[in-house]
Every structure is written in C-alpha cells, then in structure tokens.
Amino acid sequence: MHNIVCIGAGKLANHLMPALEREGYDIVQVYSRTEASAKSLAVHLHNATFTTDLSKIQQGADLYIFSIKDDAVEQVAQQVAFLENGKSVFVHTSGILPLNAIPFNRRGIFYPLQTFSASHPVDWKNTPMLITAETQEITTSLTSLAEKISNLVYQVGDKDRAVLHLGAVFANNFTNHMLTLAESICNEHHVSFDILKPIIRETVVKALDVGPRNSQTGPAIRGDQHTIEKHLELLAEHPQLRELYQKITESIEKASR
C-alpha cells in the first residue's frame, strides 16, 4: 500500500498523514468539506493535491483512509462507493464504529489510540495502533503499515476496540475535563494553577506505576466528611460542580468498599 488518499483533514489526519509520508508512503490526495482545511494539510505533504468534491476523489489508490467524524463515516463512504475496484483497501480510523460501517469488500480499521491536538506533537512510536480487518491479507498489510510508525500494534475485534475506546474516554477525556475544572476553580479564586502541576504529574506517574486502584487517596476514600463538607461549601455558588463532586465522591466510596 504505497499510494494513499486521505478523506478528512482534521487533527488526526494532520498528524497521521505526515507520519506515513515520513516512512515513504505517498499521500496523493486530501479531501475535506472546506478548501482551507484540505489545502492546509495538502501543502504540508510533498505530492498531495486536494479537493472538496467527493466525486473528484482520485480512483485507483492503494489505500483510502476515512479520517472524519464518526457520525459522517457511513454517509461519506456510501457517497464514494464508486471507488470500489476490487484492489484498493478502505479503512476508517474510528475507535467505536464497527468494521461494517464502510460498505466496501476490502475494508479494515486503522485506529490510533491517542489524543490529538493541533499544536502538540504525537509520539507515534508509543501510540497503540489497533487493527481490524475481514481477511488475513488485509490484516497483514495494515499491521505492516502500522508497524512503520508505531512499536505498539494490536489486532483487535470490534468489541475489544469499543471497550478500549470507552476506557480512553474515562482516562483521557474525563480526566482532562477534571483538570479544566480544577484550573477554573483556581482562576476564580485567584490562585495559581501551576501549584497543582506537581500533584497532577505524580497522580499519573503513580497510577501507571502501582495501578490506579492502589494509588487512590483523598477525603472520599478516607471517609473524611468534615473535609468533604468544607469543599461543598466552597462550591456553594456552583450547583453543577457540587453535584459532580458529590457523585464522584460517592463513586470513590463505593469502589473502595
């Protein structure tokens, strides 16, 4: 699979396409609904053209990668069914969508289990790549492709990938939201969020070192109701945060029993 067409130009595509190009793959075209995003990615690749017209997607590429929002994958894939030729391979990059979300005979899933931000570089060698395909031939091809950029390549089924995606939402998205709330609380009270950075780092390191269950600390696991009440008083003007604090406290208490 040497020639690749990228359908999508979001954060994942902007990290993945250059990574594949660095390994010698030829990204021949980028599609996006908006010209600005399609052009922005294409100009950072050596040989890529770009288009905003699905009917003008180049035919005959070795690999087509659907790197678009989950709720658009099926619709867009149906619109480009004309690309089916019996030789090309078609993959999506979703952690939650099943293999049959794209209606092609030669299909697979090429899912990087990572968080992507526009301005933050990705450590591809330590990014798990989850591969799913219907045939051993395609599985082998996609695994070889993934191994070019990552040292962590796994062949998983739809269910296991969905479970890992759910776990990633708790571990990454929800955790980051908690940090956002912590920063907001500090800002509201004119206290530097920087003071919390050492404990944030230690929390992650310790959870990975000894396991998250073994490293749980805080007033909830101690049953320290006095401290919990003091925290709730500080959140008196934020009923939604109070409710969130109480629910998480209850969850920690139950998990510790």
Domains defined along the chain, listed by start: 3-156 (3.40.50.720), 162-256 (1.10.1040.20)
**What's residue 50's pLDDT?**
98
Distances, alpha carbon 164 to alpha carbons 12, 37, 70, 154, in Å:
18, 29, 16, 12
Task: Give me the residues paired with residue 7 across strands.
Answer: 31, 66
Please tell me whether residue 6 adopts helix, strand or coil conformation. strand
Q: For residues 183 and 193, give the distance between their C-alpha atoms in angstroms, rounded to a whole number.
A: 6
Q: What is the pLDDT of residues 47-89, one digit of tens each?
A: 999 999 999 999 999 999 999 999 999 999 999 999 999 999 9
Average pLDDT, the chain: 97
Q: Which residues contact 24 (CB under 8 A, 6 or more apart)?
A: 2, 148
Q: For residues 198 and 246, give the distance between their C-alpha atoms in angstroms, rounded to a whole number.
A: 25
> What DSSP string runs through 25-63?
-EEEEEE-SSHHHHHHHHTTSSS-EEES-GGGSPSS-SE
* DSSP label at residue 67: -
Nearest to 218 by CA among 188, 248, 184, 177: 248
Neighbouring C-beta atoms of residue 15, cutoff 10 Å:
20
**What's residue 221's pLDDT?**
95
Distances, alpha carbon 248 to alpha carbons 171, 195, 229, 252, 254, in Å:
14, 23, 14, 6, 10
Token pair of 215 as six digits: 């490293």
Q: What is the pLDDT of residues 180-209, one digit of tens each?
A: 999 999 999 999 999 999 999 999 999 999
Q: Which residues contact 203 (CB under 8 A, 6 or more apart)?
A: 215
Check pLDDT > 90 for residue 236.
yes
pLDDT band of residue 1 (cuts 50, 70, 90) is confident
